[in-house]
Structure 1
């Protein structure tokens, strides 16, 4: 039975009165609620709703302000605030004075306060030039002014600790350059350091330590530092950077290269044959890209050291075997010798000394398609991962894709890639029979797989052919120098429009050298004079 079906009695009348009172109370509450909603405006929650939601126009205005500030549009950002003139002045001085560029300002979820203001927290990532990124959080507040929303301007908006009594100051510190010592532990002279600029920049610690600096809080009245917000960089350890560089060889290499390059890009590496320690790394220009160890070049005929090693290893040819040297040879395309010479009835030793391309290409069928790359890696360490103390490119000898490419690879062209570091190491391996991972700092981890020593007879034959190149071949310009010098020239085609790159590898005593001169036309005309001047300037092996 429902309440309306109950018999009327005195006991039920108070309950009905209570319901009337409750209804009146509800009406009053609704009236008050409507009044409160009218006071809050668009943020008022309905009966039973959650927290008030921000006006989309307010959050849109906040995002526009942060976007303009981040993009450097200070006048547009300031125009969205309650104090445009002051806002523009502070925003400009803050970013310019602290060397901040391209900040990232990311808004978080907006909230509505009891007074109807909209608060928008944001994270700030402020890149400080040459130092690092300063990260912090702040917030901006918006209020409706008439029909528009304005960002309430305050110094604390820019940073919570920026105020009328404190400002920020950028302090930079001169980290200084770490000491770099030579192979004997002596500090490198200034002129030697200058010639090693791209190398020193890659050494542990670099040319300079990591830039140092700090953003400090400063009292506006006294100028005293009241605190530090963020620091950048690390202090020097005080330990010198130890290298294998020989100052005499480095100075002579830099001088010879600067003279012989004649304004062209060029590079040279000299290293010890017995252990791979790098004595000199020279680049022209002397600053910028370290092409001596990171360059990627076709090595041209200097790679005939590897090709000859592969042929001699399997007994495919002997130094005194007759290997004709025709003027032209067609393998998919026409190959010829530099100067288009020919030498009918030449021995293999003469082909090497005179750098006969067609003779070497004619022997391509005596090597398997992958055999040249396998020999390069197994005996000469090419293409393995080297750790010399600075970043380096360690060579590539890919398997040829067709007969034309195989023909080109026999003479160091096609897709073969090397640089003076690699070719100096190849020279050292050829004449000693043993590969040593090159190094410019001490204590480097050797990650190369175990290489195999060349048979003594092969190394002896390669040394003899390199010596013949100096006495009777394309490197005769070195013959007048003292010492038992051996060499191999190289001329590497670049494209149909540009001059060839000139190459030379050489050895004397315990030193192996490789030099490339870009657009040098030929190794004999460009790289040979550089190495000649170097060997003439440093007559003795490093101690």
Structure 2
């Protein structure tokens, strides 16, 4: 089985200068907030907070509000405010009225404002169904209540700085004709023949630039309905009708096999990408459900232990570890918060190779001091292109590896948690880069611009990564692929989401010059959920 982390919230917090009667309430708020956001990485609590600075209970309450809002738990989010009824009404109207699904709300560092409130800035990434993502920044004002609990001091402007009693937002869509597309061999592709491509084909309407459907979010006067300003525009110039079908890099056989394989996800939200290692051309993009959000290319997920491919690269590049070095894998390791392996497994005296094939979290976290704080992100960008701007042919999210804010977050980033974000497109590309040594920008259509700049991995590191991924299939957590023909290499991953949701399951694999990545939301483990999907796909496409 793959490993994941668990956080021990029983550690005492540093004393704060606050009313004596509020201590018990603060503890309750902090624990509840940590649970709401998966406390492991997002709550920002722990022994690194000092005597100075904002009360950690305020930050916890703000992050919990954002977590509830993002998860669609609007009554819970509203209950964390000073005006629950009004907050519930506005949040529901805002998200439903603008066709927003699956918002991503990322909190920044809290600040004391001097008037008894604490401000938590945040970045909002609001996916507008069928159009794209509207990104903006706002901030939450938090005020301590008489009982010592912190609540969001409700006001319209916290939802968006320009939302007010006089102004609201309106979504307008422009009608566009359905795009005609073909696969790499000229075979017609459509949502009728390949339902999972619906959100992909919708974004191909602008040709190589991925213009897609067009629309806008306008700020309008509540009284007159007149447009005051345009907050977000989506889509580019529509492809001319006489240009003919858009020729994609997709392969109809791979695409069909990928869509059938996603049926193994058991009805859960899932996504899969397969691309060619030698040139980055995408062979298949599959999403479940088949309509709506293109989570395979635009989704933002913690990649879990599949990220250990990048972490291993960083460690191997600087000679900090070798595959046969002993890197102990204990049950627990505390770095501000307690991390553990699944079912508290342990491998005393294990080698780094064993730590990789068994996906031992504590072994990787134990090597964190071998890397500088920003080094993991630097390696991801320099060698794997992660975080650079990709021109895929449709709008894409190209990964993010922020510099850790403290030791706990650095530990989490070593195992693909914390604020590390990716999706199947990113992780399929990471896999292709690891086994070839060279990053090649993924593409869905010919003629896309490539503005990335990367450095090849040394052959020594590539050889080691290939051996580690192969061993994960033959003797480790990716054994579900062991019966497949060909030299298959893989890495599993389990990523925590929150304490009230099951873990996301991940697997990446490569065979015969094709790299594949799959995520199954709430799949519990990578080997148990994403593994059968990839097995089904590779079984359907003959090995060369």
**TM-score calculated relative to the size of structure 2:** 0.62
In structure 2, relative to structure 1, the CA distance for the partners of 1:130 and 1:510 (3 Å cut) is same
Q: Give the whole-Å Cα distance in 1 for the aligned partners of 2:491 and 2:342.
A: 14
State the shift of 1:195 in Å: 2.3
Question: Relative contact order, CA 8 A, sep 6+: which one is greater?
Answer: 2
Select 2:250's aligned residue among 245, 250, 271.
Answer: 245
The secondary structure found in structure 2 opposite 1:514 is strand
Aligned residues, how many?
Answer: 350
Confirm whether residue 364 of structure 1 aligns to residue 364 of structure 2: no
Confirm whether residue 256 of structure 1 aligns to residue 261 of structure 2: yes
In structure 2, relative to structure 1, the CA distance for the partners of 1:327 and 1:210 (3 Å cut) is closer
Equivalent residue number for residue 181 of structure 1 = 182
Q: Give the whole-Å Cα distance in 2 for the aligned partners of 1:385 and 1:474.
A: 33
Select 1:524's aligned residue among 505, 510, 527.
Answer: 527
Residues 319-343 of structure 1: CA deviation (Å, up to 9, x unaligned): 0101010011000011011222000
Q: Give the whole-Å Cα distance in 2 for the aligned partners of 1:335 and 1:493.
A: 12
Residues 50-70 of structure 1: CA deviation (Å, up to 9, x unaligned): xxxxxxxxxxxxxxxxxxxxx
Residues 369-413 of structure 1: CA deviation (Å, up to 9, x unaligned): 011000000000000000000000000000101110000000000
State the shift of 1:262 in Å: 1.3
Confirm whether residue 194 of structure 1 aligns to residue 200 of structure 2: no
The secondary structure found in structure 2 opposite 1:202 is helix
- Map 1:226-241 onto structure 2 (within 5 A): 236-241=241-246
The secondary structure found in structure 1 opposite 2:188 is coil
Confirm whether residue 287 of structure 1 aligns to residue 288 of structure 2: no
Q: Give the whole-Å Cα distance in 2 for the aligned partners of 1:234 and 1:241.
A: 9
Q: Give the whole-Å Cα distance in 2 for the aligned partners of 1:380 and 1:405.
A: 21
Residues 475-519 of structure 1: CA deviation (Å, up to 9, x unaligned): 101000101000000000001111000000000011000000000
In structure 2, relative to structure 1, the CA distance for the partners of 1:322 and 1:131 (3 Å cut) is closer
Q: Give the whole-Å Cα distance in 2 for the aligned partners of 1:198 and 1:190.
A: 9
In structure 2, relative to structure 1, the CA distance for the partners of 1:240 and 1:319 (3 Å cut) is same
- Contact map agreement 1:507 1:513 (CA 8 A) in 2: yes
State the 4+ residue runs in structure 1 displaced beyond 3 angstroms: 129-132, 175-178, 189-193, 205-211
Moved more, 179-188 or 488-497: 179-188
Moved more, 483-492 or 194-203: 194-203
Q: Give the whole-Å Cα distance in 2 for the aligned partners of 1:339 and 1:518.
A: 21
Q: Give the whole-Å Cα distance in 2 for the aligned partners of 1:532 and 1:433.
A: 25
State the shift of 1:210 in Å: 7.5
The secondary structure found in structure 2 opposite 1:396 is coil
In structure 2, relative to structure 1, the CA distance for the partners of 1:487 and 1:131 (3 Å cut) is closer
- Contact map agreement 2:179 2:205 (CA 8 A) in 1: no
- Map 1:460-475 onto structure 2 (within 5 A): 460-475=463-478
Q: Give the whole-Å Cα distance in 2 for the aligned partners of 1:196 and 1:210.
A: 15
Equivalent residue number for residue 484 of structure 1 = 487
Q: Give the whole-Å Cα distance in 2 for the aligned partners of 1:271 and 1:438.
A: 7
Q: Give the whole-Å Cα distance in 1 for the aligned partners of 2:516 and 2:403.
A: 27
State the shift of 1:239 in Å: 1.4
- Contact map agreement 1:192 1:250 (CA 8 A) in 2: no
Select 1:265's aligned residue among 269, 279, 290.
Answer: 269
Equivalent residue number for residue 538 of structure 1 = 541
In structure 2, relative to structure 1, the CA distance for the partners of 1:130 and 1:426 (3 Å cut) is closer
In structure 2, relative to structure 1, the CA distance for the partners of 1:235 and 1:467 (3 Å cut) is closer
- Contact map agreement 1:209 1:235 (CA 8 A) in 2: no
Q: Give the whole-Å Cα distance in 2 for the aligned partners of 1:505 and 1:250.
A: 17
Equivalent residue number for residue 74 of structure 1 = none
Select 1:388's aligned residue among 365, 387, 392.
Answer: 392
Equivalent residue number for residue 71 of structure 1 = none
Q: Give the whole-Å Cα distance in 1 for the aligned partners of 2:211 and 2:408.
A: 48
Q: Give the whole-Å Cα distance in 2 for the aligned partners of 1:466 and 1:210.
A: 40
**TM-score calculated relative to the size of structure 1:** 0.62
Residues 187-242 of structure 1: CA deviation (Å, up to 9, x unaligned): 2366543220000001134899979xxxxxxxxxxxxxxxxxxxxx9972241101
State the shift of 1:186 in Å: 2.6
Select 2:312's aligned residue among 297, 301, 308.
Answer: 308
Equivalent residue number for residue 422 of structure 1 = 426
The secondary structure found in structure 2 opposite 1:503 is strand
Q: Give the whole-Å Cα distance in 2 for the aligned partners of 1:130 and 1:319.
A: 54
Equivalent residue number for residue 68 of structure 1 = none
Confirm whether residue 499 of structure 1 aligns to residue 499 of structure 2: no
In structure 2, relative to structure 1, the CA distance for the partners of 1:190 and 1:397 (3 Å cut) is closer
Gaps of 5+ in 1: 1-126, 133-174, 212-232
Equivalent residue number for residue 375 of structure 1 = 379
Equivalent residue number for residue 152 of structure 2 = none
Residues 269-293 of structure 1: CA deviation (Å, up to 9, x unaligned): 0000000000000000011000001
Q: Give the whole-Å Cα distance in 2 for the aligned partners of 1:456 and 1:251.
A: 35
- Contact map agreement 2:304 2:493 (CA 8 A) in 1: yes
Select 1:342's aligned residue among 319, 341, 346.
Answer: 346
- Contact map agreement 2:268 2:520 (CA 8 A) in 1: yes
- Map 1:437-476 onto structure 2 (within 5 A): 437-448=441-452, 450-476=453-479
- Contact map agreement 2:187 2:252 (CA 8 A) in 1: no
